[in-house]
Every structure is written in C-alpha cells, then in structure tokens.
Structure 1
Amino acid sequence: MEQNFKILNRLFLSAAFLISGAQGVLSQEPLAAGSTDEDKIQIDEQLPLAGLQISSSPLTLGPELDAKYDKGIAFMYRLEFDKAEEEFREIVRMSSASPAGYFALSALSWWRCAQNFDVSVASSAYEEEFMHHVDETAKAAEAMLKKKISPDQAYFFMGSAYGLKGRWYAVQRKWFRAYIYGNRARKMLRKCVKLNPNIYDAYLGLGIFDYFADTLPGILSVPALLFVHGDRMRGLEEVRLARDKGRFFSVEARIFLIEILTRHEKDFNQAVAEAKVLRETDPGNPFLWLGEIMAYIHSQDWSRAFDESLKFLAANAGAENPWLAQQLSLVYLSAGDSKLALNQPQEAAAWFTQGIENTAYPDKGWISYCYLRRAQAFGLLGRKEEAVKDYKTALNRVNFWDSHLYAKKGLKKAPDFKEIYRQLIEE
C-alpha cells in the first residue's frame, strides 16, 4: 500500500490528511479569451462575501460551551470516547442551532474509527454515523449563513466537516471523492479567514491542503489538472499558526506537524521535540505518550523507543479502557521492532510473542506484523521451521500493509539483517 496511507496510524493513529478538490472549479463559468492558469485561480478564489459582517473576534462558542468543548476534546485525545460523546451531545442539546456540537461528534466518529484502521471492517462500522454527523454540521452551518448569523463560524465548521469527510475518503483511497470534499473544505475555510483572520483553527485545514498539494505528486494528479496549487512553506506556516494560536485544534495541528516533520521533512529532531511538548500538555495521557514512542521509532532512536515502550506497558498493560487496550499490540510491536533494529533477534522474538499472546484483539493488523517480524527474527536466529510457520500464519491472516508481500518473500528467501532494517525504517 502507498507509504502515505501507512502513516495513518503508525504515527499518532490519526490521518491528518486533507485533500482539496473539485466541484466548485468544475462549475465555474468559461474563462475569457487569453485567460491564464493564474487567472483561473484568482477567479476561483473570489469570495461572494458581500453583505456579510467582517469580524476580528476570536473563535468562541460562549464560556459554558467552550468549557464543554475543551473537556470533550481532552476526553477524546485520552481515548475516553464515551465521556467525550456525553460532552459533545450536551453541546448539541444546549445549542442545537450551532454546527459546533455536530462537528465534534463527526470528529469523535473519526477518532473511534482511526483506532482500528488496522482492522479491515473498522471504517464501515462507523461510516453511517460519521456521515450523518457531517451532514448535520453542514445543515446547521447553512442555516446560519442564510440568517447571516456568525458567518465566519458557519464557514469554519462547514469547512472543517467537509475536510474531515475528505480525510475519510482518503483513508479509503477514494481519491476523487476525497478531492471533491477537500476542495469544498478549502473554499469554506478561505471564506472563514477572509471574514475573520483571527479564527486560527481554520489555518490547520488550509495548511494541510497547501502542504500536501505541493509535496504529494501521486495524489495531486487530479488537482493539478484543475489548476489547484499548493505551497509547502506556506502550509507549514499555516499549521504552525494553528498550533500556536488555535482555540480548539492546536493539539491536532501539532499532531499533524509531527507527522509531516517525520514522514516528509525528515526533521526527526524537531519531530521528537514537538512530540515531547505535546505530551507535556497532558502528561497522564497514554495516547500522547504513544505518539512520543512513535516519534522515537521514526527517528531511529531505538534504545529510547524500547525504554518508553517498556514503561508504557508497565503503566497500561491492564488497561480497562478498551480503546487503549486495542493499541497495546502496537506497543509490543514497537518494543520488538526496536530490539530487532538493534540486532537483538532473540529479545525481539520474545516481545513479538508477548504481543501475540497478550492481546484481547487478535484481529488487529499489528498482530499480523508481530507474526511477520517474529518470523524474520527467527530467520536471523537460524530457526527456520519456526520462521516458516510464522510466515504462513501471516499469509493466512488478512493482509495489512505489506504483510503478505514480505511473508511470501520470506518463504522464498529469508531476509538478512540489512533488508529487515530497511523495512523497519522505510515501510
């Protein structure tokens, strides 16, 4: 599978991914003779904002609703989803005309699904409720626009909801749909900041678009044809602006920044620094701790990654929260990967075994990789029969990432340490 899809859960279990696309561009009137591509962009970005009030007020829902939003978001990042849902539904109850609560529920559905993206049926289980909440967000925002009530916030929540819908389709590799809703999101968010440049959370979606539109040519084939262009440096600055000044999305902005620093910019030191700062915002949050571990993995600081994995398992091995318990196999895998990268296959195999035996969620894709990596460790140890058995087990499970590809290759020829290390840092 494409590398950009692989990052979705391996780094922070979230796909901070917003592609921007197409429908509004396709419906434009014909250009005048002699118009250039640049003219096309300018025409597309003329915003029909006449009669709407320009504002410089910071984003707020009011003191009581802001507090509930903050509380719900904190629960969501702690993977305490039922508690988060209570807060978000209370926002809907208290302010049913606002899109804010509906959007929060959309994000919650996204996050619930994201924790099990390595299980093939995960997205379908949440798709109906996710789409329902996105539609409710858009309806509430449209009603606000018709009444000219807080149009900056209406565009913000509508754009954010469409962006999330684009991310949903991107995870499923339905690129054109992702493109359609992503561009719709981009236009709404541009209208938002045109009306009120102090809604800093809107710059996250704009930054994601600008960055990926400039750096992911494989996904850009359709946007490029429609004269939609990005700007890598502008995207980074927009994401940093949301991180530093965003009211509700600052954590999400930092998560996305860590992703691009790690997977695209290859600035591992800065990624680790950002991950540490993020964890310090809520030191008891296991999700943020897991994010720090992933940053060490990607920066190839194997000893630190193993030490933190060990501490994490000691603190959370008996986790009662099912959403957290579902991620423990990833931590066992990370511990084993770290030992394998340090060329300690005996210890690595033991950690992969613990991941397999200790999980209450055997369908997780991380378990498939525990079998695959244990087979590779056994191969380095010369334990061929055990390696073959694990390769065959990996093949009999649902394919996750390239588990089938490497299992087949392993059965034909056991990889040496150099090849295993390449897989650890590149796949």
Structure 2
Amino acid sequence: MQVFLWLVLFGLAHLGEGRVAFAQSPPVDSLIETKVSPYLLLDRGLQYRITKSINSMYNFDFETAERDFRVIAYQYPEHPLPEFLMALAYWWRIEVDVTNEKYDDIFLNYLDRANEKAERLYDQDPTNKEAAFFLAAGYGFKGRLLAERKSWTKAAWAGKNALKYMELSRGEEEFNPELLLGDALFNYFAEWIPENYPLLKPVLALFPKGDKVLGLQQLEQVASNAFYTRIEAMYFLFRLYASEEKKPYEALRISSYLHEKFPNNPYFHRSYARHLYTVGRWMEAVEESEEILKRIDEGWVGYESNSGRHAAFYLGQFEEKIGNREKAKYYYLKTVSYGEESESQESGYYLHALVQLGQIALEENQNKLAKEYFKKVKKYAKRKHPAHQAARDFIKKNKL
C-alpha cells in the first residue's frame, strides 16, 4: 500500500452504492421517506432514483450508468453531482489496473468540472455544507490518483484541501456517516504509518494520534450506515483485513458480498477469487479463476491482463498442488504472459510464477531453461523480495 496515500485517503473517497443491504443497513422504507432538505445530496427521492444507476456503475455497465448521469446533468446543470458521478465511473475503469493511465485525463477533467461547480456554490454561500462535501471528495479523489502516479507534492496539496473542506462540511447531521470515512482512514493510517515507517514519525508528530482499532470500527460503521461512502468503506475494509490485519476470513466475508452484489465488477471478482485462494477454498477459487479467464477471452468490460495474472496464478498453484505439472506450467506461463502484457514484471504473482517455472524446469532436467527463469526473477525483483532470494538459492544449490 502506498505510504503517502494516507495524505489523501482520509479526504473523502467516492460515492457508495446507495441502497445496499450490509450488516445493519437501514430498511428500504427508511431510505425513500420523503424529507425536505436544502441539499440535493440528501434528497431521499433522488437517492432512490439513482440507486439503479450507481449499481450499474459498480457492476461495470457504464453505458447504462452514464446515460442516467447525463439525465441528472440535464436536470441539475449547475450542480457538481452529475460530473462527480461521471468521474467515479472513470475511476472504476482505472481501479481495475491503476498502472494504466489512459483514463487519467478524462477522470481529472470530470473532477475539475465538479469542483468548479462546487466552488461556485461555496462562493455564493460559504455555509453550504454540500459544496464543501463535494470539494472534499473531489480533492480527495484527485490526490488519490496523483499519489498512484507518484506526484507526491501535488497529492499532498490535494489531500490538504480535501481535509480543509471536510472540516468545513461538518455540522450537517446527515452528512456524518459519510464524513466518518475520512476520520476512520485517518485514525487507521496515522497509527499504521509510524509503525511501518519510523522515519516518518517526526512528520506525524504534527498530526493528532491515530487509533487503528477505532479506525476499523469506524469503517465497519460506515459500511453499515452510510449511503454515499458505503462501498468505499467496504473496499478499504477487505484490503486492510487481507493485508495489514491478517484476517483473511473477514476479507472474504466482504469481498464475497461485493462480488455477489456486483458480479460483473472485475476488481471485486478477482479479490473474491484471491480471498478464496488465501483461505484454501480451492475448488471455489478454481471456479472463479476459470470464469475470470473466460471473461477475458470473451472481452467483458474491465476484464484484462491484470485480472488474468491473478487468476492464472491461482490455477497454476492448484494444478501443481494436485500433481498436474503440465497444466501448472501452462497457467504459470499465462501468468507471466499476462504480467508482461500489463507491464507488471515487479508484481509478486509474476515473479513467483517464474520461480515455479524454474523449479519445474529443474525437476525436468532443463537446467538451462531454469537458469533463464531465475535470471529473469533477479532482473525484475528487488533483492529483498522473497522471489529474488528463492532464485538465488536455486542458482547456488544447483550450480546454474
């Protein structure tokens, strides 16, 4: 996880999915109760109307979602919501493979337009909590992408603006579940970063202390009660449970729900397959991985080499586990091919697939081929990476 993402993640991320049943979600009737609000964001009728559209976006039916977003833009031409929703649709295209920059410009253009409209609303009325909310979300998202692109100074500036507007948007009780996401991420990462990067402690001394346990509790609360930031909270929860918290079954619980709710979302699909693989539910992991590869071959929206690299590796592991060496080689080679297609040669699955191919080559007395695989690992892996260590050990032990 990027060290500097914390600068922007607590800004406010993206809109959640609307009327999702998760944990203790409010019943449908409570969501469609008529309630007069000065803010479009809190209009229950609009929330109910756009639920299907936002669901379509999360399910990668962008054509349906964006058509509906354009209708909202026609109805509310001066409001930032439509442009923000369009930006979200492009964020999800980016999320599938964040190394691919082809959607960056259009995503940032929609965010800038949303921010411009929010700024006009804010200039007209500095007490407008909704305008501040959108500015916090817009700058938070911009910073998030800039951090992925390693534009640290610009990311920090965007994160600072996100935090400023998040504070200004406080005071409207119904915004509180959405704003809690920012507090949750700050609480978690403000403690996590000095634990993992002690050199940053002097910088963090300027900020309030964090609390990882509280941060996770707040994320669960947002996942249960928020309307707009619910799915983003789930996204961070399963990532944190899977990697930092070492709670794979909790990660599986959430990714299973998300894949069931949005079965055509490739990011949720491959995350579900990964968590099945992690907990040893092999047959289900195989089934989902085979489906991912099938969808790539059929050209499903968002299914590409990055997802293929994950799925092929899980299948290679399974075939090797059951002693099917030829099929294991086939899937490891597909992992390598997908990794090179997406220029992900430094990724763990790519490197470990090469290690496995080298080991199989040794077992088949193809020492020259094995040496080629191990040399490629050493070329792309950092010296401290486990794959680099494994490659060095195999070369030394077998005198390659």
The TM-score, its normalising length taken from structure 2, stands at: 0.75
Match of 1:242 in 2: 222
Aligned residue pairs: how many? 364
> Measured at CA, do residues 73 and 338 of structure 1 come closer, stay the same or move farther in structure 2, by a change above 3 Å?
farther
Report the Cα distance in structure 1 between the residues aligned to 2:75 and 2:110, rounded to whole angstroms: 17
> Measured at CA, do residues 384 and 101 of structure 1 come closer, stay the same or move farther in structure 2, by a change above 3 Å?
farther
Contact 2:273–2:289 (CA<8 Å) still a contact in 1? no
User: Counterparts of 1:155-234 in structure 2 under 5 Å?
Assistant: 155-217=132-194, 218=197, 221=201, 223-234=203-214
2:295 to 293, 308, 316: 316
Contact 2:276–2:284 (CA<8 Å) still a contact in 1? yes
2:271 to 291, 296, 302: 291
| 2:286 alignment partner AA | D
Contact 1:272–1:292 (CA<8 Å) still a contact in 2? yes
Q: Are 2:93 and 1:112 equivalent residues in the alignment?
A: yes
Q: Are 2:352 and 1:373 equivalent residues in the alignment?
A: yes
1:99 to 72, 80, 86: 80
- Give ranges in structure 1 of 5+ residues lacking alignment: 7-14, 22-54, 417-427
| CA deviation vs aligned residue, 1:131-174 (integer Å, no higher than 9, x gap) | 32222222211222233398222222111111112211222334
Secondary structure of the residue that 2:177 maps to in structure 1? coil
Shift of 1:410: 5.9
Shift of 1:112: 2.1
Match of 2:286 in 1: 307
Report the Cα distance in structure 1 between the residues aligned to 2:347 and 2:235, rounded to whole angstroms: 26
1:258 to 238, 242, 247: 238
| CA deviation vs aligned residue, 1:306-362 (integer Å, no higher than 9, x gap) | 4244442475253322421342233112322455678976543221223456x6982
> Measured at CA, do residues 263 and 385 of structure 1 come closer, stay the same or move farther in structure 2, by a change above 3 Å?
same
Report the Cα distance in structure 1 between the residues aligned to 2:250 and 2:75, rounded to whole angstroms: 41
Give identity over the alignment, percent.
20
| 1:324 alignment partner AA | Y
Q: Does 90-99 or 312-321 show the bigger shift?
A: 312-321
Contact 1:213–1:220 (CA<8 Å) still a contact in 2? no
Match of 1:39 in 2: none
2:341 to 338, 358, 362: 362
1:148 to 125, 133, 151: 125
| CA deviation vs aligned residue, 1:198-245 (integer Å, no higher than 9, x gap) | 452232233222211121223955751433433323322322222112
- Give ranges in structure 2 of 5+ residues lacking alignment: 12-36
Secondary structure of the residue that 1:226 maps to in structure 2? coil
Contact 1:18–1:209 (CA<8 Å) still a contact in 2? no
| 1:78 alignment partner AA | N
Q: Does 383-392 or 262-271 show the bigger shift?
A: 383-392
Q: Does 274-283 or 137-146 show the bigger shift?
A: 274-283
Contact 2:249–2:279 (CA<8 Å) still a contact in 1? no
Report the Cα distance in structure 1 between the residues aligned to 2:231 and 2:6, rounded to whole angstroms: 11
Secondary structure of the residue that 1:194 maps to in structure 2? coil
Report the Cα distance in structure 2 between the residues aligned to 1:85 and 1:361, rounded to whole angstroms: 32
Match of 1:390 in 2: 373
Contact 2:255–2:271 (CA<8 Å) still a contact in 1? yes
> Measured at CA, do residues 363 and 313 of structure 1 come closer, stay the same or move farther in structure 2, by a change above 3 Å?
closer
Contact 1:379–1:415 (CA<8 Å) still a contact in 2? no
